[in-house]
Chain A
Amino acid sequence: MHMADALLAPAVAATMYAASGIAAGVSVKTLRKDETTAKLPTMAVASALVFAGQMINYTIPGTGSSGHLCGGMLLSALLGPQAGFLSMVVILAIQALFFADGGLLALGANCWNMAFYGCFVGYYLLWRPIQRSGLFGKAKAAGRGKIILASILGCVLTLQLGAFSVVLETSISGITELPFAAFVAVMQPIHLAIGLVEGLITAAVLLFVYEARPELLMDVQSGAEQGKCSLKTTLVVLAVVVALVGGGLSLFASGNPDGLEWSMFGNAEAGYSENMGLDEEAYGVSSSAAETAGAIQEKTAFLPDYAFSGSDSAAGTSVSGLVGSAIVAGAAVLICLAGGFFRRKKAAAKN
């Protein structure tokens, strides 16, 4: 779900940076109150673990496709929402810088879409209320049930919110010609399937921690008496749920690890409206909303008044523009060749 720099207008990117920055600032401030230095290595190790853990493929039984771990829910269950959010921010920053997953400008938006919802919304709205509730009774099996429920609901909700934000941010940026409502109609169901699978994997990892070291999990009461429901039965239940729900829905995503990619490729391959069986005209209302948003964006764009008048259509398409562009491109290639020539010469001189 990582957004690239090119998918965002500067104004939208700045807004998202501000929003994520406020969340990070509040987190740092809250964390300062309790001893953060003691927590720092744990946060670093946990985020490094989530980073590596997200590269593991988990086979989804009966489908042939594979799922991944949901980092936000796992980190907030282990570290709490504030520390979890900061850890996610750091993971996303490293992914953007070193692995070209996301981008420097889109970092604010990515933090909001993936870290904020996963850590704060998922934790305060679902994880904590469910763990503190008397749901399923008081036995240890109840603890398992609560962890599974909270993980699945948390992942589904946070992915839905994240996917919706991606659509919203891309549409407001005026990047795509896709009508807003139809774009949403593709993104949400795919991320519902992904959320279910991610929730199950996250639940499995958290259950393991709960069995071995329940004190590591936030807000989970440990020391409850042993119930009848063993890990094995839980996993069997999980398997059935996966096969029924995840399996059916993840057919959408099979072979396409990223839902965002899928929904867009799906659109591109056969033309958007045909692909969805939708009538483009029926979405007139929302496309006009997108146009308004586009107009707002144009007004707030970086130094719009300095551009040549009419450059929107004329400059980019005039013949002299094309000739000039070709000259610049040729110069760029020449610079690369010259650089390579001098590097080789230097290396030869060294030997």
Chain B
Amino acid sequence: MTEITDITHPEIDTNEMILNMGPQHPSTHGVLRVALKLDGEVVTDLDCDIGYLHRGVEKICEHRNYQMIAPYFDRTDYIAAVSNGLCYVETIEKALALEIPLRAQYLRVILTELNRLSSHLLWLATHALDIGAVTVFLWAFREREELLKIFENFFGARLTCHAFRIGGMTYDAYDGFQAEVKDFCDRFPKRLEEYETLLNTNRIWLSRTVGIGIISADAAIDIGLTGPPLRGSGVEWDIRKAHPYECYADLEFDIPYGENGDTYDRYLVRMEEMRQSRRIILQALEKLPDGPIMAPKAPKVVKPSIGEYYHSIESPKGELGIYLVSDGSTQPTRLRIRPPSFINLQALRQMSIGHLVADVVAIIGTLDIVLGEIDR
């Protein structure tokens, strides 16, 4: 949060206007403040001001037991709480060298993919809303609502879902869980087609997204983009395939990737990812084995050995990683979260310069950021 006027040079050119977008703005997806330097409506420079939601999660983690830390992760990326929880418990399990029962693994995959669906649906809703397609917003929320009901039945919470424990799961699937998920998956492709009728070949949608916010594969790697933004640029890289965790290695799915690295390709990638998620869920439901949901050797007092561990998963936003430094006590020495939104947001400047104000909004939407995760 610094003076914005002196991004590159302190004196303000009279021909340029500094426009403050946020922290209260309909389409900055939370409390992001973007200072735009405008020449007419063309963005010549911009600076992101983040930190309005900084809670010091990493600091708090250093002062909590390992079990007490877990709920904090539901609140970093609150749109994809399940993925966050998964990343945390997996990191600790790997550091402890714990084997997780197969049933817990499959349940985790099902829930994480359901969460990916709900996260992508929220992205679609807000992204479309930013570009002015209000109806898609409410249609996507209709499906998200069904997912949240499943979450509520499973976790007891709709947003800050929390059912993973170090060593497995707290709750087993409730009665009718499989049927409900299956039912949802059966209905879902038709709903996706509905959104696509409204957007895919819509001329206005095309002219608002094609060629907007182009980032080449090399530039994307250089700036550290991960997740759908990286794949939209044509890099075929997904942690679920590259470094399979849980039971992803047993499941069949494809990685969609784009060619042009523009907003439209990222849109297509995410839409296809939803289809692939559904595919994963259906397979996992079919293969879901019986058995225990907690590892029998799961320790009551979690104390990883002295050392360090880095583990990352493919969260809906990108690579969510945790770097754990343990001194052998019940509290971590350092628990670093690698927030995908934070690093993806950094590309905003590079992607928006030369575009119009309206495109900045579209690009913020296509990066799919969550301020809770950026600010931590």
Do the two chains bind?
A: no
